[in-house]
Chains A and B, each alone.
Chain A
């Protein structure tokens, strides 16, 4: 950090600024699996998950707070066991989404880092 130390820190605001967030990734995925948009954030998927993943938060995260540099989320430790899919009251194919999100994030990251896709 450069500049003077004023004795206090100004944190980045917590407010989500929809004007600048990029929701194209979420839109992309929702276009492929429309059911994703049907999530009612009931949390059953989170409650049942043996790997401690919050599938519920993936949609709002990618929808509202995605910046190009977000780290790949915890989804990497998903067993793809499908328990979440079986309890989801909206019947969302969460297993597939889990793979799709990871894959799309990875390819975005690759593009950002200039790695050619396979």
Chain B
């Protein structure tokens, strides 16, 4: 009966069709749910942007990422090739199969199974002619070979991940393993099926033709052909039925994610739809595992983003979100560009305690106006040398400045945010924001990268430029407001996570290094975490120490005489494990400062407000 409706047709295609249809419907449902659970603002973004050029840009990016996997290539070539060959090869098989079927059947609209199983319906030109003709058969074989080569790498990765440049491969859930087996079987069986058909008909190109020829010459193939196609259709069905519930859901999800992201949607507590989509888009590629410094220092490896995302997605009960340092190394390298840190933070929101944090009191400016506010930050009060050096620097520069948190009672609110206490963070922020604005200051200088990031990312401070003290000091030197004499020592810079990766302040500290030290032994690796991070409240001190020690060893490979950093927490983490002095930039500057008598007030008037091009920053 069906034969009459569909032509060509064979019952085995039903298996595939069931699986494929199920997956399609399921994903349609998923996309609708994702959109439904977006916040109102995000929905608006979606509607406003969908008919703009952004959609085309997103399409381009989808091809680049979902098919060619350009970013994974950037991280790890072999791994990139593996993903590319599987995704792009398979895609090309479908595309060429489709074109071939249109070309020969003359029909544009037809059931999808026709093009998937085209070789079964039309064995093509006779062998060996097809080998030499670079027609459809050749390209079909070419891409099948590409897929199978990727598959071989995937199998190697499972058992010998070092060969692919990965120290550790991902651990899998049983259903993932099931789907994986189906996926692995798809292409070898396809090869067998096509070869059998070609063998019987004497057709096929260099791969299917040769193999088919061989098979036909050693046994009578005829009875095997149909069962092989049945099994091919069967594994396809299994794979597609499993897909939505496994890591392979990332294939369609990643594409959707790319579009949503192009429209300006970001991870937020208010948009659970986008959060869920992000969780589905993780491809479990595993590159985030090796960059994680905790992979070595924690016996229990469930912290890494790959596992963490899995735990969230499948709602596995776990506490691991509390252990991550939030150093951001995984986020930076993630080929899907998932917003892992915000995902971490909102995963902690279940523990929201109704924070009532308020800043109890600071010493008041007595109505005086100062051009510069200095905000040391809570932690800096535990490294008094930094405060003292900054005092010297401000005094040398002759600026009119005010030490805002000299009583150590203010907090920027970012620690609350990192711990998922969004409400408390907001209330602290609003309080400080109002007070900063009321102060009439033009410049806010802080010594703490955590505060800096919070001021930059979350605070709305019109008219006030926020600088980390490294940026401020560099300006002072470049504008000859202070003079330094480079030291003969060899220095190495440790980049704090929140400053470098977190806030993108990377060039200023390095420029400062070149002004302060004659030789620079800063390693060229991506900044390591000192272990002191506020990101992981649950981490034990011993783990933090282990992280600090191994990071210290890596950073000082160039045998520097001093380690220079730009964060009070980094300084505190390294001090007990270091055998060389650990200095903050402010201290290093004061050590090389060419002291001049403090400039009198009249000079200050001349050099008032705008001579520092704060807007350029």
Contacts and interface: CB of A to CB of B under 8 A. Distances in A.
Interface string A57-88: 00000000000000000011111111100110
Contacts of B416: 79-80
Determine chain A's interface SS by DSSP, over half rule: helix
Interface stretch (A12-20, A23-31, A92-100): A92-100
Given A50-B378, A99-B537, A82 B353 contact: no
Interface stretch (B70-78, B82-90, B407-415, B490-498): B407-415
A79 B411 contact: yes
B415 A86 contact: no
A95 B382 CA distance: 17
A86 B572 contact: yes
Interface string A90-111: 0101011001101100100000
Contacts of B542: 91
A51 B357 CA distance: 8
Contacts of B360: 50-52
A76 B411 contact: no
B421 interface: yes
B411 A106 contact: no
A35 interface: yes
Given A50-B409, A50-B411, A52-B360, A79 B537 contact: no
A95 B533 CA distance: 12
Contact of A80 (B322, B350, B415, B541): B415
Contacts of B382: 48, 83, 86-87
Interface residues of B, number: 36
A79 B353 contact: no
A118 interface: yes
The number of chain A residues touching the other chain, given as a range, is: 20 to 34
A95 B348 CA distance: 13
Of B353, B408, B413, B416, most buried by chain A (CB within 10 Å of CB) is B353
B537 A80 contact: yes
Contact of A76 (B354, B418, B532, B537): B354
Interface in B318-336: 322
Contacts of A78: 355, 357
Given A50-B408, A79-B411, A81-B411, A102 B358 contact: no
B538 interface: yes
Interface string B528-557: 000010100111111000000000000000
B428 A79 contact: yes
Contacts of A77: 355-358
B419 A95 contact: yes
Contacts of B354: 76, 102, 106
A50 B410 contact: yes
Interface in B452-495: none
Interface string A20-51: 00000000000001010000000000001011
A77 B411 CA distance: 12
A79 B357 contact: yes
A48 B411 CA distance: 13
21 contacts: A33-B538, A35-B540, A48-B382, A50-B409, A52-B360, A75-B353, A76-B356, A77-B358, A78-B357, A79-B357, A80-B537, A81-B378, A81-B379, A82-B415, A82-B534, A83-B378, A86-B572, A91-B540, A93-B539, A99-B537, A106-B353
Nearest 10 pairs of A and B residues by beta carbon: A91-B541, A102-B353, A96-B537, A79-B411, A95-B537, A76-B356, A80-B415, A81-B378, A50-B409, A81-B415
Interface of B: 322, 350-351, 353-358, 360, 378-379, 381-382, 408-411, 413, 415-416, 418-419, 421, 424, 428, 532, 534, 537-542, 569, 572
Interface of A: 33, 35, 48, 50-52, 75-83, 86-87, 91, 93, 95-96, 99-100, 102-103, 106, 118
